Amino acid sequence: RESLLTKHSKDSNIGSIANLTISVYIYTCIYALIQFAFEKKSPPLTMYLKKWVVFESVPLIISYAKIFLLSTFIYPITYFYYHSTVRAKYIWASFYSIYLIYFFVYTFKSCYHKSLSSLSVTILCMEGVRLTLKIHSFFRENMRLSLIPDRPFAKFSQMLYYFFAPTTIYRDNYPRKKKIKILKAMKYFVQFMSAFIASCIIYECYLIPRLIKVSQNPLSFKVLFFEVLSNCVPSTAFMILMFFFYLHAFQNFFAEILRFGDRLFYTDWWNAKSYSEFYKTWNIVVQDWLRTYIFNDLRRILPVSVRNAISSIAVITLSSIVHEYIMFMIVGSFCPAITISFGGFGGFLYLIHF
């Protein structure tokens, strides 16, 4: 299955709209660069990226290598569980729980490295969350497969492929393309870098100055109301760019170099008629994990009359907590705006359309 934007790009009408949208983004970025250069005497991101490459790339790589190495310890834990007796399985399941908690704590502490900036912390934190989802899926799927008599345990290479593949559900084998299309992979990489840089420019030139201005003046409901309205357009543009560079370009780039066949990472969330539909179509990769290991698991053990509602609340709550955790690690302070908007008001909208 191809990504939706990849299929739609072959349509000339959709391609024209895409070209128009790209032109608007290019103009916006050029205008912001010129304005920022005249006011600040230097273009945005230039000095920051130089500093990041020179001073932070090595600590970031070392920290990530340690986190990834720790994540591979799930293989021997799952292996011993797989080949244990029924009683011993309880011991290894408990050991897995301790390991998962330790992995989370270690990732949390790694993000507090004194020489790392918010960009490096973002990378480490999101990778820590991604690997946590993969670790749990690898263990859970092999728990189920261990019930099959005389079935061989997964190879280490299969687990490594899964850790890099753009999916959160472990399978021994995935649909694969016959060969890597280098030009197509390069196209996705260029799209990723272009959208990433554009999102950084919008963030630094349009969002940050407004937030600084608000923080320097007395805050009232009127000021807050108009600032929220004025930030809606650049924030929406920033959100769309984040979707494009991460859920489309980045995922398709890794799918191409790994010959990963199933590339339906999202569906037409822009046509969603309810919040619940938007939530289920925005990020299929994470949604599959939440549905498999949270929603479906709770539905099996809860009473029929309340299982759908409680399972949905659990999914929304976990999602809001993880998003809040990521924002806390990046910003360095706790402000439960995401929990209130995403888990509170958004959760209510999700349930009434469930």
Please give the full DSSP string across 9-26, using - where no structure is assigned. Answer: TTSHHHHHHHHHHHHHHH
Based on the domain organization, do 17 and 132 belong to the same domain? no
Average pLDDT of the residues in 236-258? 87
Same-domain status, 37 and 183: yes
Residues 20 and 140 in one domain: no
CA distances from 326 to 10, 38, 66, 107, 185 (A): 36, 34, 19, 12, 29
Residue 130 confidence class, pLDDT cut points 50, 70, 90: very high
pTM of the model: 0.84
User: Can 8 be counted among the known catalytic residues?
Assistant: no
Please give the C-alpha separations between residue 43 and each of 51, 203, 232, in angstroms, as whole numbers: 14, 14, 24
From the candidates 8, 113, 136, 323, give the one annotated as an active-site residue.
323
Q: What's the rounded mean pLDDT across residues 128-138? A: 92
**Is residue 345 pLDDT above 70, yes or no?**
no
**Range with the poorest average pLDDT among 19-23, 102-106, 252-256, 282-286:** 19-23
CA distance 295 to 319: 12
Q: Which of 124, 145, 174 is the last residue of a domain?
A: 174
- What percentage of the chain has pLDDT greater than the value 70? 84
Q: Burial of 244 by CB count in 10 Å (0-12 exposed, 13-18 middle, 19+ buried)?
A: buried
Tokens of 117: 């900036």
pLDDT digits (tens, 9 = 90+) for 57-95: 777 888 889 999 999 999 999 999 988 888 888 899 999
26 and 112 in a single domain? The answer is no
pLDDT for 75: 93
Residues 96 and 148 in one domain: yes
pLDDT for 349: 65
pLDDT of 48 strictly over 60: no
Among 50-59, 214-223, 262-271, the minimum mean pLDDT is found in 50-59
Highest mean pLDDT out of 102-106, 279-283, 308-312 = 102-106
Q: Is the pLDDT of residue 54 over 60?
A: no
Q: Same domain for 47 and 169? A: yes
More confident residue, 325 or 275: 325
Domain boundary among 142, 174, 206: 174
pLDDT of residue 36: 67
Same domain for 64 and 78, yes or no, is yes
Which percentage of the chain shows pLDDT scores above 90? 17
E-strand ranges in the chain read none
pLDDT on residue 340: 74
Residue 75's domain spans which residues? 42-174
Dmax over Cα atoms in the chain, in whole Å? 71
Band of the pLDDT at 229, cuts 50, 70, 90? confident
Name the band, by pLDDT with cuts 50, 70 and 90, for residue 43: low
Determine which of 48-57, 86-95, 251-260, 332-341 has the lowest per-residue pLDDT on average: 48-57
State how far the Cα of 201 lies from the Cα of 353, in Å rounded to an integer: 36
> Which tens digit of pLDDT belongs to each residue from 160-210?
999 999 999 999 888 888 888 899 899 889 888 888 888 877 777 777 777
Count of domains observed in the chain: 3
Domain boundary among 265, 281, 298: 265
- Between 94 and 352, the more confident residue is 94
5 or 343, which is more confident:
5
Per-residue confidence (pLDDT) for residue 40, from 0 to 100: 61
* pLDDT bucket at 3, cuts 50 / 70 / 90: confident
Within this chain, do residues 70 and 168 fall inside the same structural domain, yes or no?
Answer: yes
Residue of 150, 29, 139, 120 lying closest to 77 (CA atoms)? 139
Better-predicted residue by pLDDT, 272 or 10: 272
Q: What is the mean pLDDT of residues 23-36?
A: 72
Mean of the per-residue pLDDT values for the chain? 81
Do residue 205 and residue 274 come from a single domain? Answer: no
Would you state the structure tokens that stand for residue 173, as one six-digit string?
């084998």
Average pLDDT over residues 238-245: 85
Answer yes or no: do 282 and 248 share one domain.
no
Statement to judge: residues 169 and 84 lie in one domain: yes
Do residue 234 and residue 319 come from a single domain? no
